[in-house]
Amino acid sequence: MAGVTAPTSDDSARTALTLRPPRHAVDRRAVGWWTWQVVLWFAAGVVPLAVLGLLVPPARTWLLLPAAALAVVGAVAAVALPRLWFRHHRWEVTDEAVYTRTGWFFQEWRVAPLSRIQTVDTVRGPLEQRFGLATLTVTTASARGAVKATGLDAATAAALAADLTLATQATPEDAT
Amino acid sequence: MTAPDGTPDTAPDTAPDTAVPDASWDRLDRRAAVLAAALYTAAPVVGGALLTAYWVAVGTSLGTALAWTVPPSVLAVAVGAGCGEWMWRVTRYHVDDERLHVHTGVVFRKRLALRRERIRSVDLSADPVLRVLGVATVRVGTGEHAGTEGTVTLWPVRRAAADALRATLLAHAARTGTDGTRTDGSLARFDPRWIRYAPLSFVPPVLGAAAAGGAIQVAEWFGLQEDLFAAVGSWFGLAPAVLVALALLGALLVVGGVAALALWVETWWNHTLDREADGTLRVRRGLLTTRSISLEESRLRGVELVEPLGVRLAGAARVDAVATGLTTGEKDKTESRTLLPAAPKDLADQVAAAVLREAAAPPTSAPLAGHPVAARGRRLRWALTSVLAPEAVLVVLGLLLTPVLLHVAWVSALVLVPVAVVLALDAYRALGHALTPTALVARAGTVRRATVALQRRGIVGWTVRQSVFQRRAGLLTVLATTAAGTGAYAVRDVGQAEGLALADDAVPGLLRPFLVGDDAPTGVPGAEATDLRGTDH
C-alpha cells in the first residue's frame, strides 16, 4: 500500500540494535535504603508469626517454622536484591529527554521527551529521608507514561527538578 | 509539585463562581422538570405499592391494601415533583464570552464557571420521558480528569436550547479552514442488517443468566419460588436429565439472544456518525433513549478497530475512538467511545480511515509486518501451561482420591489442549505492526483482537519492556505512551532490533540518542547530548 513502510529486521551477525544503559547509576546509598525496604517487608510477615509462635505453645512448630523459612528467604533477598537493583537501575536526563532503566527480571526502559513533560515531582519517603535520597517523578499526559528515577541523591533530585522545570518551560507546546 | 507549564495559566478550569445571576441567565424547563421528576418517582413507587398491596390484600382486604399504599404513593410522587420544582428554582446558567456559569444543586449548592476553551464535551441524552416532554439532559465536561469534578449536568433543557448550547460551547473547537481537507458530513449511517452481529458476543449468555436470576427473584417476591423450583424439577422426569438440561440452557440462550437484540436496537438504532462544521465528530443513536455524543477532533489521537472473536468470525469489527479525556461521569464508557458498532470489516476500515482523515489508505487495513516465530512459541507455552496446570492438579487429586478425576482430566485435556493450541496460533497470527506516514499500527489478541492506529504526533514517550524469557528469545514489547485512551498501546513480542527501529522511526529523534549496536542509525541528532546533570556517579 502506498506510503506504508513495514520495518524489516536485519539478520546480520553484528551486534543487535539495543538500548544503551542510561549514563548514571543511582546513588550508592540506595542499596542501604532498598535493604531496609526488603527487611521491613519481610519483617511484616516474620514478626507476627514469631510472636504468635512464642505466645501459642500448641502451634509453636507450625508458626516458628514458616517464620524461620521466611526470615531466611528475607535475608537472602535483603542481601541480593538491592545489589541486583543497584546494577540495573540507571537514569539519565539530556536536554531532549528523560531516560531510565529499571528491573532485572522484567527490564524496563522509559523515555519521555522534555517537550511532553507535564509535572516534575520529587518525593521523599521517611526511609528515603534517613538515607538522604529522593525519587524524581516526571509525568506526561499519559496515564501510563510517568518516568520515575528512584534512589537519587536528594540534592541532585532537587536540582534536576528545577532544571527540568526550566527546560520544559522553554518548550511551550500542548503536551498532549 | 512544580508545574512546568510555560503558558500563562493562572485561572483554574473550574472555579467557584462569583458572578451574580440576573434576569438574562437561562433556566431549565419548569414544566418538564416537575413532570419528569414526578414520573421518575412514580415508576418505582407504583411498583413497590403494587407489590405491597398484593401482600396486604392477601392477608386482609383490598380496601385496607389501598388505604395503606395510595396515600404514601401520592405523597412520594408529590415530593418528587417538589424536587423537580426546586431543581428548576435553584438552577441558572449563562454563557458569556469566557465562561459557562452554572449555579445549581438541590442539596449542596454548586456554583461553577467552566472556561469555554477548556470545555471538551457536550453530550445530550433524552430518555423516553424527556423525549415526550421535548427536553434533554446536557452534560458538559472539561475532560481534564476522570471523575465528576470537571463535569456539570443540566437537566432538563428544552431540546432547541440544548442543541444551541452544544453548538455555542463547542464552537471554539472549529478549525480555521486552512487545511482545506475538511469534509463535513456523514461518515457512517446505520444499517439495520448489522443487527446480525448483536448476538455474537458474551452478551446473550449473560443476559440469559440474568433473566433466570430475575425470574427466581420475582417468584420470591410473590412467595412462589418453591413452586418454580418444583415445576422445573418435574421437567427432569420427562426426558433424560442431560437433554432437559441442554434444553433449559438453550432456552436461556434464546432468551438472552432476544434480549441482546433488543439491547442492540435500543442502543444503536438510528446511529449516525457525522463530522460537524464545528470540528467535532458526533455520534447520534438510540431508539427510546436518544443520545448525542460529541468528540472534538483535536482530542482524537487514533482509532481502535476491535474484533471480538464471534464478531470477527462473522467478518465484522467495531470502531472505537482513541481520544484524550473522554466523557467523564458517563457510566457506559466503552459505548461512549464507540464510533461505529460491529459492522462489516471493510466498512469499519473505511470509517476508521475517514475518522482519521486518511480515506486514501485506511491505516487499520495496512499490510502488517509479522513478529518473529519465537513469539509463537511463547503463546503456545502460555496456552499449554494454562491448560496443563489445572489438569496436573486434577491428576494429583485423582491419584490421591478417586479415579473419576483422572477420567475428567484426560477427557477435558482432549478437548482443551486443541482449543488452547488453536487460540495460541491465532494469537500469533494476530501479532503485527506497521508504520504509515501518520500512524503507528499495532494488532494483537485472539478473543478480543484489536488493531490500534495511533497517530504518531500523539505519542508522548516510550516504554520498552523485556522479561528474561523475552531477552533469550530476542523479543521485546514496545509501548507507545499517549494521553489518549488507555494511556499506552503495545507492540507485543516484536523482534528486538525491529521493535526499537520501529519506535525510532515513529517518533524521529526521541529514542535515537539511546540506541547502540552496529545497526544503530547514524546521523544521530544529539548523540552527544549534553547532560543536564553532568555529575557522573
Nearest to B249 by CA among B216, B214, B212, B219: B212
pLDDT of residue B223: 82
Reading the block at residue B70, the C-alpha cell is 395510595
A52 touches chain B (CB under 8 A): no
pLDDT of residue B330: 45
Strand A97-102's sheet: what is its strand order? A24-25, A90-93, A97-102, A106-113, B459-467, B475-482, B488-495
For the beta carbon of residue B209, count every other beta carbon within 10 angstroms: 14
**CATH at residue B506:** 2.30.29
DSSP E strand stretches across B211-315: 272-275, 280-285, 290-296, 300-308
| CA dihedral sign, ordered B275, B277, B282, B287 | negative
Looking at the domain assignment, is residue B320 inside a domain?
no
pLDDT of residue B116: 85
Residue A132 gets the label, from left (phi > 0), alpha (psi -120 to 50) or beta, of left
**For A90-169, which CATH class?**
mainly beta
Strand A133-140's sheet: what is its strand order? A117-123, A133-140, A147-153
For the beta carbon of residue B130, count every other beta carbon within 10 angstroms: 25
Residues B418 and B443 in one domain: no
Asked if residue A23 lies in contact with residue B531, where contact means CB atoms within 8 angstroms, the answer is yes
Q: What would the pLDDT profile of B381-411 be if each residue is shown by its tens digit?
A: 999 999 999 999 999 999 998 888 999 899 9
Closest residue of B to A16, CA-based?
B517
Residues B125 and B254 in one domain: no
Which run of H or of E encompasses A153? strand A147-153
Nearest to B526 among A96, A107, A160 (CB): A96
Listed by number, the residues of chain B in 166-185 with a beta carbon closer than 8 Å to a beta carbon of chain A are none
Distance of residue B219 Cα from the nearest chain A Cα, in angstroms = 47
pLDDT of residue B183: 54
Residue with cell 479552514: B177
Contact check, Cβ <8 Å, A97/B7: no
Reading the block at residue B102, the C-alpha cell is 452554572
Check residues B375 and A119 and name the one with the higher pLDDT: B375
Which run of H or of E encompasses A113? strand A106-113
Looking at the domain assignment, is residue B466 inside a domain?
yes
Residues B124 and B236 in one domain: no
Distance (Å, whole) CA B510 – CA B18 = 45
Distance (Å, whole) CA B457 – CA A130 = 43
Beta bridge partners of B236: none
Nearest to B437 among A3, A113, A164 (CB): A3
Complex-level ipTM: 0.86
Q: Which of B479, B514, B536 to mutate against chain A (most A CBs within 10 Å)?
A: B514
Burial classification of residue B20, based on how many CB atoms lie within 10 Å of its CB (0-12 exposed, 13-18 middle, 19 or more buried): exposed
Which run of H or of E encompasses B401? none
Looking at the domain assignment, is residue B325 inside a domain?
no
Task: For residue B265, give every residue at least 6 positions away whose Cβ sits within 8 Å of its Cβ, in sequence order, or none.
Answer: B195, B287
Contact check, Cβ <8 Å, A14/B460: no
Q: What would the pLDDT profile of B124-157 be if each residue is shown by its tens digit?
A: 999 999 999 999 999 888 765 544 556 788 989 9
Looking at the domain assignment, is residue B479 inside a domain?
yes
Closest residue of B to A24, CA-based?
B537
Looking at the domain assignment, is residue B475 inside a domain?
yes
Burial classification of residue B363, based on how many CB atoms lie within 10 Å of its CB (0-12 exposed, 13-18 middle, 19 or more buried): buried
Residues B105 and B34 in one domain: yes
Looking at the domain assignment, is residue B52 inside a domain?
yes
pLDDT of residue B531: 57
How far is Cα of residue B218 from the mean position of the Cα atoms in its chain?
31
Distance (Å, whole) CA B476 – CA B299 = 30
pLDDT of residue B416: 94
Beta bridge partners of A113: A97
Q: What would the pLDDT profile of A10-43 be if each residue is shown by its tens digit?
A: 444 457 899 999 999 999 999 999 999 999 999 9
Task: For residue B403, give every residue at least 6 positions away whose Cβ sits within 8 Å of its Cβ, in sequence order, or none.
Answer: none
Burial classification of residue A142, based on how many CB atoms lie within 10 Å of its CB (0-12 exposed, 13-18 middle, 19 or more buried): buried
Check residues B169 and A172 and name the one with the higher pLDDT: B169
Contact list in B for residue A17 (CB cut-off 8 A) is 496-497, 500-501, 515-517, 519-520
Q: What does each of the 537 residues of chain B score in pLDDT, given as a tens digit?
A: 334 443 334 444 555 566 777 788 999 999 999 999 999 999 999 888 888 888 888 888 888 888 888 898 999 999 999 999 999 999 999 998 888 888 887 677 778 888 888 887 888 999 999 999 999 999 888 765 544 556 788 989 999 999 999 988 888 755 444 444 455 688 999 999 999 999 988 888 899 999 999 988 888 888 888 888 888 888 888 878 888 889 989 999 999 999 999 999 999 999 999 998 878 899 999 999 999 988 888 889 999 999 999 999 999 999 999 988 654 444 445 567 899 999 999 999 999 999 999 888 899 999 999 999 999 999 999 999 999 999 999 999 999 988 889 998 999 999 999 999 999 999 999 999 999 999 999 999 999 999 999 999 999 999 999 999 999 999 999 999 998 888 899 999 999 999 999 999 999 989 999 999 877 766 544 444 455 554 444
Asked if residue B464 lies in contact with residue B478, where contact means CB atoms within 8 angstroms, the answer is yes
- Into how many domains does chain B fold? 4
Judging by DSSP bridges, how do beta strands B448-455 and B135-141 pair with one another? unpaired
Residues B27 and B164 in one domain: yes
Looking at the domain assignment, is residue B179 inside a domain?
no
Residues B420 and B457 in one domain: no
Task: For residue B462, give every residue at least 6 positions away whose Cβ sits within 8 Å of its Cβ, in sequence order, or none.
Answer: A109, A110, A111, B478, B479, B480, B481, B503, B507, B510, B511
Residues B163 and B51 in one domain: yes
Beta bridge partners of A120: A138, B2
Instruction: Give chain A's mean pLDDT.
Output: 87
Looking at the domain assignment, is residue B123 inside a domain?
yes
B147 touches chain A (CB under 8 A): no
Residues B444 and B423 in one domain: no
Nearest to A165 by CA among A147, A138, A132, A133: A138
B343-355: b or e for each residue (b if 16 or more CB lie within 10 Å)?
Answer: bbbebbbbbbbbb
Burial classification of residue B94, based on how many CB atoms lie within 10 Å of its CB (0-12 exposed, 13-18 middle, 19 or more buried): middle
Residues B481 and B405 in one domain: no
pLDDT of residue B6: 39
Vertex B207: Cα angle to B206 and B210 (nearest 5): 90
Residues B51 and B164 in one domain: yes
pLDDT of residue B460: 93
Distance (Å, whole) CA B420 – CA B389 = 13
Which run of H or of E encompasses A91? strand A90-93
Asked if residue B244 lies in contact with residue B236, where contact means CB atoms within 8 angstroms, the answer is yes
Residues B129 and B240 in one domain: no
Contact list in A for residue B497 (CB cut-off 8 A) is 9-10, 16-18
Domain that includes residue B447, residue range: 432-514
Contact check, Cβ <8 Å, A170/B6: yes
Q: Which amino acid is at B152?
A: V
pLDDT of residue B334: 56
Asked if residue B85 lies in contact with residue B91, where contact means CB atoms within 8 angstroms, the answer is no
Distance (Å, whole) CA B50 – CA B63 = 13
Asked if residue B278 lies in contact with residue B168, where contact means CB atoms within 8 angstroms, the answer is no
Judging by DSSP bridges, how do beta strands A106-113 and B26-27 pair with one another? unpaired
CA separation (Å) from B103 to B20, B56, B113, B160, B169?
9, 45, 9, 21, 17
Which run of H or of E encompasses A133? strand A133-140
Nearest to B514 among A99, A104, A107 (CB): A99
Tell me B509's DSSP state: T
Nearest to B443 by CA among B504, B371, B500, B355: B371
Distance (Å, whole) CA B378 – CA B302 = 29
Residues B26 and B126 in one domain: yes
DSSP string, B418-473: HHHHHHHHHHHHH-EEEE-SSEEEEEE-STEEEEEEEEGGGEEEEEEEEEHHHHHH
Contact check, Cβ <8 Å, B471/A107: yes
